[in-house]
Structure 1
Amino acid sequence: MARMAEVLKLVYFIFINFLLLPSSSDGNQRPNFIVMLMDDMGWGDLGVFGEPNKETPNLDRMATDGMLFPDFYSANPICSPSRASLMSGRLPIRNGFYTTNVHAHDAYTPQNIVGGIPENETLIPELLKEVGYKSKIIGKWHLGQQPQFHPLKHGFDEWFGAPNCHFGPYDDKSTPNILYYEEFQIKAGYSNLTQIYIQEGLDFIEKEVANGNPFFLYWTPDATHDPLYASEMFRGTSRRGLYGDAVRELDYGVGQILQKLKDLHVDNNTLVFFSSDNGAATYAKTAGGSNGPFLCGKQTTYEGGSREPTIAWWPGRVKAGQVSHQVGSLMDLYTTMASLSGVAVPKDRVIDGIDLTNVLLTNKEEERPLFYYRGNELMAVRLGKYKAHLWTYTNPLKEFEQGIDFCPGQFIQNLTTHDQVNHTLSPLLIHLARDPGEKYIIKSHTVEYKTAMPRLQAAVAAHRAKLVPGAPQLNWCDRAVMNWAPPGCEKLGKCLKGPQSKPFKCVWPH
């Protein structure tokens, strides 16, 4: 009888996975999508990218069984703009996730931010909903904390997580807590939150497979964002300290999710992307990650700020053991998922993401320019193996002298400047293939410079000619819009009375 039950169960899963799922226009089954977006995880944090402690066996195996992208980038070197670009397929300068309060300044969405993801941006889950997908976000959103900006207003069917990051502690008087983080308690580096995120993901996958729905899971835990946390099961298990504990637990979660797909026999119909929202926070020192050989880290437009540890996994479709040097961006997930699901991207706006379908299925590369923004300024451009710095800037000397170092142990003459230096008339040229650490600036009088630079400048000129900046969403803050009385506070008896509205221009101290 037990044997018969197993056979019936297998037949059941085969039936719902192959007969009931909606079909794309070409008659093929629509794939499921899982995007695993880490928080402040660096390129050098995975064993497959050279981390010497080799504490990420599941991610290393995922790379062995899939495709590794060593030249993959976020759209911005800080969290909120990067995530807005992933969801919209558009640069922050277009979708409004930048500030004009200070030139070339990184900005994000703290609790008191007034703005958020604009209603006229069509996000990934909104596209997928058109062809029958069920979507869930688990973890950090960070695209605006007021209700009109929340995930359920922008295409997601389910949300388990928080609008902001787990800063704190909050006192529930002058600064309200985010109920979510308060109830799940992150204290002294301990929390079971990642385990809860893992189980939420497993439950969602199981439910949607049973219901016969194609699904999109946006799994975005934040344990590697300072202040760090890990559960009892992983606390003290890494040679790297608490940061390593958090990485090990996330690696475990990846393994659990991939195994669930195999157990439910949907692994061959599920594209999984693993990446990070920006480079490691080098200013956090040992409480932050590693950017491997790359220069500087989070909040800079050097390679350490936005080159991400990226893996694609799709058994039976993406051949195992491949490395792609495609210059990719998190924005490409938008276009790729639309293409694979058979839905058209909006035609009334510029979409910056490219379709990676051919890259994934044939490992054929497509040349494209990559633009590095910091706030409202185009700082650099990459085309092929070359990168041109139009502006250089780490962080202000005053901050640096206070111990806030975006490039610890790294100093490159004329490149890692503490002043904002405009090089637009004579950009600084780097060959990233032979100099990934951006240590050697190619002299402007050389044949190589005179050959490479015109193509980069032409790419910049074409980009600027068609650029229409979106209305900046990150200029204004107001304590009145904070989480004084979020949904559910009545049941917990924790509704607070907020202050009167007094908008002010936001500032973002590092």
Structure 2
Amino acid sequence: MKRILLSTVLLAASLTVFAQKKSDKPNIVVILADDLGYGDIGTFGATDIRTPNIDNLATKGLKLTSFYSSSPVCSPTRAALITGRYPRRLGIDHVFFPESFTGIPAEEVTIAEALKGNGYQTAIFGKWHLGHHRQFLPLQNGFDEYYGIPYSNDMQGVVYLRGNDVDSIKVNQKYITKTYTNEAVKFIDKNKDKPFFLYVTHNMPHVPLYASPEFEGKSKRGLYGDVIEEIDWSVGEVVRALKKNGLEENTLVVFTSDNGPWLIFDIEGGSAGPLRQGKGTTFEGGQRVPTVAYWPGKIKPGTVYEDLASQLDLYPTIIGLTGSQKTQTKKPLDGEDISPVLFGTGKRKGQEFAYYSNGIIEAFRKGDWKIRLPQPDTKINGIIIVPATDTLLFNLKTDIGEKNSLLKSNPEKAKELLTALTTYQAKIGDTPEALVQRMPSDDSHIKKRAERATAKKNGK
């Protein structure tokens, strides 16, 4: 009897050790909002939108106040985030549309592919926007599971895909956020004993805006605020699922946005807070995005990092944290492992960042200084959104809103940045011709929706 009991105890101990080994690798959760403004989250200054769950991640984790997306529009940003490379390297300079025939290049090794090669379960629930033909979809790019809409929710052919196949052509957009959240929670429950990479990519708050009945009409900022409060609820549900399964202390959670707010839609377009301009521009409001990171026991609560970092850093950081170096891309990366920033042991070494728009560098940052090269009028359907500007020079440490150009008083600093930009471009090297189709010349649908949003604000 004692031998049987001893054997049972040894077997149980072996199983426990085996289970622990399976969970030694950290889980990674990246949550990406669409067109979320810097001023739309409580911890980043919003007073009329309640975001307790996201705020809690910042309070108990790390808030990054100078964190950048790689593009002021969505497809290039998404390509850069999952490859760690400037979208120009991939030839992805513009937004994909249902009529596009191209997508993310097959030779790129995504985060999902690198982690999958290291024993991770991988999933994306939400907006993909990197090509809809079979070879470009998530399952062919390292993800084990996919459920979501392949485009923005304002484009034709809004459908739900399950893997490579259409699951439903009837999409009630009021429930998009809830649908993605339910899929994410089920994935966590199913893979609690395996290391996983979960990528939740919300379609909201990209216009048109929709919130479920439980959230509609509840915020002080109208429908836009309702949408953000539901996204905040979703973040809370994901964290609760981690806690329920005992995974919270072995999981890095990152919340960020693909670019800034689409200000042309006025009250339905979000707020850049103290930043200048928004989506579609290389001013700070277009690419500096609200970002927090959370990992109990690893990230010191209440940490604030004010120096430059970017979504390009997520790839090398995740690769390093998960020990997936053997399966990562051999191509040059444009970010760096910012684990020292997460854990409070150091700063990001690189101090440079190139602001790309339509495949062209429009601005460049080094340290606290940013130079913006001369730009023509930015137009949508013939309407000037941003007037033409000459060369501008800003100290972002003292002028986050880019209100006062210091070019005349600091010509030597401008020369220094231009020289640094030349060196930086040489390091990036030649990049391929753009693979994606340019945005349609007829932007009337955008103009009409913006006019309706303005009329709604004015009570017409």
Which bin holds the TM-score, normalised by the shorter protein?
Answer: 0.7 to 0.9
Task: Tell whether the 8 Å contact from 1:17 to 1:266 is kept in structure 2 after alignment.
Answer: no
Q: d(CA) in 2 for partners of 1:321 and 1:18?
A: 32
Cα offset, 1:129, TM superposition: 1.1
Aligned equivalent of 1:375 = 358
Going from structure 1 to structure 2, the CA distance change for 1:123 and 1:319 (only over 3 Å counts) comes to same
Aligned residue among 359, 363, 366 for 2:341: 359
Distance 2:346 2:417 in 1: 22
Match of 1:459 in 2: 420
Is 1:117 the counterpart of 2:107? The answer is no
Task: Give the aligned partner of residue 33 of structure 1.
Answer: 28
Deviations 1:21-48 (Å, cap 9, x if unpaired)? 16xxxxxx21100000000001110011
> Aligned partners of 1:88 and 1:395: how far apart in 2?
29
Displacement of 1:180 in angstroms is 5.6
Deviation, structure 1 residue 508:
6.6
Post-superposition offset of 1:265:
1.4
TM-score by length of 1: 0.79
The 3 A distance-change label for structure 1 pair 379 and 283 is same
Q: Give percent identity, aligned residues only.
A: 37
Amino acid in the other structure paired with 1:396 = K
Distance of 2:218 and 2:342 partners within structure 1: 35
Q: Determine the structure 1 residue equivalent to 2:41.
A: 46
Structure 1 segments unaligned to the other structure (5+ residues): 1-10, 23-28, 99-106, 173-177, 406-415, 477-504
How far 1:393 moved relative to its partner?
Answer: 4.5
1:126 paired with 2:107, answer no
CA, structure 1 residues 171+163, in 2 after alignment: closer, same or farther (shift >3 Å)? closer
Determine if contact 2:123/2:143 at 8 Å carries over to the other structure.
yes
Distance 1:397 1:267, change over 3 A: closer
Shift in CA distance, 231/378, structure 1 to aligned 2, threshold 3 Å: same
1:329 aligns with 2:291: no
Query: How far did 1:251 drift?
Result: 0.3
Distance of 1:170 and 1:204 partners within structure 2: 26
Going from structure 1 to structure 2, the CA distance change for 1:507 and 1:155 (only over 3 Å counts) comes to farther
What is the alpha-carbon distance in structure 2 between the residues aligned to residue 376 and residue 330 of structure 1? 17
Q: Is the 8 A contact 1:166 1:181 kept in 2?
A: no
Deviation of 1:435 after TM superposition, in Å, equals: 0.7
Match of 1:470 in 2: 432
* TM-superposed deviation, 1:239: 1.1
Read off the aligned partner of 1:440 and give its amino acid letter.
N
Task: Establish whether residue 417 from structure 1 lines up as the match of residue 411 from structure 2.
Answer: no
CA contact (8 A) 2:313 2:337 kept: yes
Tell me, in whole angstroms, the C-alpha distance in 2 between the residues paired with 1:134 and 1:208. 7
Partner SS state of residue 216, structure 1: strand
Residue equivalent to 1:429: 393
Q: Is the 1:46–1:56 Cα contact (8 Å) retained in structure 2?
A: yes
Write the distance in 2 (CA, Å) between the matches of 1:215 and 1:393. Answer: 45
Change (3 A) 1:73 1:199: same
User: Structure 1 counterpart of 2:323, which letter?
Assistant: G
Equivalent residues in 2 for 1:107-506 (5 A)?
107-168=94-155, 182-186=169-173, 191-209=174-192, 212-344=193-325, 346=328, 348-362=330-344, 364-366=346-348, 367-393=350-376, 395-396=378-379, 399-400=382-383, 405=385, 416-418=386-388, 427-444=391-408, 446=409, 448-450=410-412, 452-466=413-427, 467-475=429-437
Label 1:245 to 1:268 Cα distance change in 2 as closer, same or farther (>3 A).
same
- Deviant stretches of 4+, over 6 Å: none
Question: CA 1:325/1:471 → structure 2, altered by over 3 Å: closer, same or farther?
Answer: same
3-state DSSP of counterpart to 2:264: helix
